[in-house]
Structure 1
């Protein structure tokens, strides 16, 4: 079952495959890495100094295209980094 949320930005297959496998209960299991990436990107682009990954706001997903069994924390951090990069380069 893929995530039902709309993703403004998406990680491609290569970027998803580079994320670490992660299956911790209650810490992002079966949550969407694309949603986590977008949360991080938004906060990075806004240059937020205090960032928060809201796991409960992430879509549920068991789709490989959404980073099944991958770390939502790492996807969030990657999004944050890309957001800062894009803010600087605009």
Structure 2
């Protein structure tokens, strides 16, 4: 079952493949990496200095397109990095 949340930005198959496979039992298991990426991206775009991955707000998913069995923590960090890069690019 895929996540039913709206994702403003989505990781493609290549980007998902760089995330580590990890069940993260109790810390993101069966949660959506697309949601985690979007949380990080939003916080990066705002240049937030205190960032937080809210695992409980991530959509539930067991679909490959949502990063099944991948690290939501890494997806969040990638989103944060990409959000900062977008912010920088917009300032040029």
RMSD: 0.4
Specify the alignment match of 1:5 in structure 2.
Answer: 5
In structure 2, stretches of 5+ residues that fail to align are none
Moved over 2 A (4+): none
TM-score, scaled relative to structure 1: 0.99
Q: Report 1:13-24 matches (<5 A).
A: 13-24=13-24
TM-score by length of 2: 0.97
Do residues 70 (structure 1) and 70 (structure 2) align? yes
Return 5+ residue gaps in structure 1 as ranges.
none
Q: Any residues of structure 2 matched to 1:15-54 within 5 Å, and which? A: 15-54=15-54
- CA distance in 1 between counterparts of 2:70 and 2:82 reads 18
